[in-house]
Amino acid sequence: MESDLGNTADRIAALKDHFVWHERFEPLQERLSLLMEKRLADLSADRITEARGIALSGASGTGKSRAMTHLISGIWKRFAEHDLPHGAIISLRVPSPATLKSVGQMVLRALGYKLSAERQAWYIWDLVRFQLRERKVLFLHLDEAQDLSSRGTRNEMTSVASMLKTLMTDEDWPVGIILSGTTELEEILNHDPQLARRMNTIRFDPISAGANAEDVQGLLAGYAKRGQIRLASDTVGIPLSERLIHAAAFQFGLVIEIIIEAIELAYVRGDEILSQHHFAQTYTDRTACADAFNPFIVDDYYAIDARRVFTRETDRD
Ligand SMILES: Nc1ncnc2c1ncn2[C@@H]1O[C@H](COP(=O)(O)OP(=O)(O)O)[C@@H](O)[C@H]1O
Ligand SMILES: [Mg+2]
């Protein structure tokens, strides 16, 4: 095997670039298509109806951002058929700290509009609404949307929620809102039933060793094939998949990250076969935790809480 570093970087980049389809994306994709087709039909018929939205929630590392990016690139293709530019859907990460004002400023910037002076929130959002219409933006996607409530003040949360409602119900130019974020995002929706009513909530649940070990086994085999590396006998079975799921704190995306990092380690070392010790080292590198807490090393790994990644010997009791 070639252990040249430039070559390794290219091969890893190619592995990272690959998107793994998972059946959990189907409900999300369906809802998104439905929203989009409805809006495109309204647009063609010169009809204005209230827009709706989608809220995608799930733990960090489950794959929400990646799924959204992937699905949005599919939406671009559909837009192109309608002569709509990519900008007809805007995807942004909510700034932190998020206030009504900072979110408005960020959206304006994304719309290419520069504020010439310090302005108040209501002024900024008036401009946002005007610019959304001018630039024919149909959808606004906000990632890490749980940060919209991070300020914690009820007032700020209420005003953000009502602004999102206002965008969706605009009489001239309704904009569909897509939110993705951790489960705290659901608090914003629970806080405002009128907003919740206009949003479909989809959740990416954690995976489990019982239900998903075989999928993960297939996932690993797929990456090994793609990465042209052979699997040692200690990595082909269900036991390793179960350890992997555990080490990834039951998050789909993190499983993929660990697989790619283990392959990278093998490349860098010039090893031709991927084995369990590559996974063990990857886990150590990621978490800096002791062997006694490494799910790829100990046998009773069920008790290890991989979410507490910085566990050390001293934490044991
Ligand atoms: N379907 C997928 N195919 C390939 N890699 C993925 C997929 N889903 C997630 N990942 C990878 O897993 C990691 C975590 O995913 P991410 O989308 O950032 O999770 P989240 O936004 O839920 O915190 C990222 O490195 C991402 O590239
Ligand atoms: Mg994310």
Which of the listed residues 160, 184, 204 is the one where a domain comes to its end?
Answer: 204
241 lines ligand 1 (CB under 6 A): no
Question: In this structure, which amino acid lies at residue 119?
Answer: R
Query: Tens place of pLDDT for every residue, the chain, 317 residues?
Result: 445 667 999 999 999 999 999 999 999 999 999 999 999 999 999 999 999 999 999 999 999 999 999 999 999 999 999 999 999 999 999 988 788 899 999 999 999 998 888 999 999 999 999 999 999 999 999 999 998 876 556 677 788 889 999 999 999 999 999 999 999 898 888 888 999 999 999 999 999 999 999 999 999 999 999 999 999 999 988 899 999 999 999 999 999 999 999 999 999 999 999 999 999 999 999 998 899 999 999 999 988 888 866 434 444 33
63 lines ligand 1 (CB under 6 A): yes
**pLDDT given at position 152:** 57
* Minimum-distance ligand 1 atom for the alpha carbon of 143: 21
* 46 and 189 co-located in one domain: yes
How much distance in Å is there from the Cα of 47 to the middle of ligand 1?
A: 37
62-to-124, 207, 234, 291 alpha-carbon distances in Å? 34, 9, 26, 25
Cα-based torsion angle of the residue sequence 245, 286, 13, 139 in order, rounded to the nearest 10 degrees = 70
* 182 and 212 co-located in one domain: no
Which of the listed residues 177, 204, 231 is the one where a domain comes to its end?
Answer: 204
* pLDDT tens string 242-280: 999 999 999 999 999 999 999 999 999 999 999 999 999
* 166 and 182 co-located in one domain: yes
At residue 127, the 3 state secondary structure works out as helix
How much distance in Å is there from the Cα of 61 to the middle of ligand 1?
A: 6
* 179 and 255 co-located in one domain: no
Q: In angstroms, rounded to a whole number, what is the distance separating the alpha carbons of residues 259 and 248?
A: 10
* 121 and 134 co-located in one domain: yes
* 9 and 149 co-located in one domain: no
* pLDDT tens string 80-124: 999 999 999 999 999 887 888 999 999 999 999 988 889 999 999
At residue 263, the 3 state secondary structure works out as helix
* 135 and 224 co-located in one domain: no
How much distance in Å is there from the Cα of 61 to the middle of ligand 2?
A: 7
Q: In angstroms, rounded to a whole number, what is the distance separating the alpha carbons of residues 155 and 204?
A: 29
66 lines ligand 1 (CB under 6 A): yes
* Beta carbons of 267 and 1 less than 8 angstroms apart: yes
* 214 and 292 co-located in one domain: yes
* 168 and 134 co-located in one domain: yes
* 48 and 173 co-located in one domain: yes
Which of the listed residues 204, 237, 269 is the one where a domain comes to its end?
Answer: 204
Query: Quick check: pTM over 0.85?
Result: yes
The domain that holds 59 is classified in CATH as 3.40.50.300
Q: How many domains does the chain have?
A: 2
* 29 and 131 co-located in one domain: yes
* 112 and 225 co-located in one domain: no
* Minimum-distance ligand 1 atom for the alpha carbon of 59: 22
60 lines ligand 1 (CB under 6 A): yes
Token pair listed for 241: 């998949």
How much distance in Å is there from the Cα of 121 to the middle of ligand 1?
A: 34
- Residue range(s) defining the domain that contains residue 234: 5-17+207-315
Q: In angstroms, rounded to a whole number, what is the distance separating the alpha carbons of residues 56 and 186?
A: 9
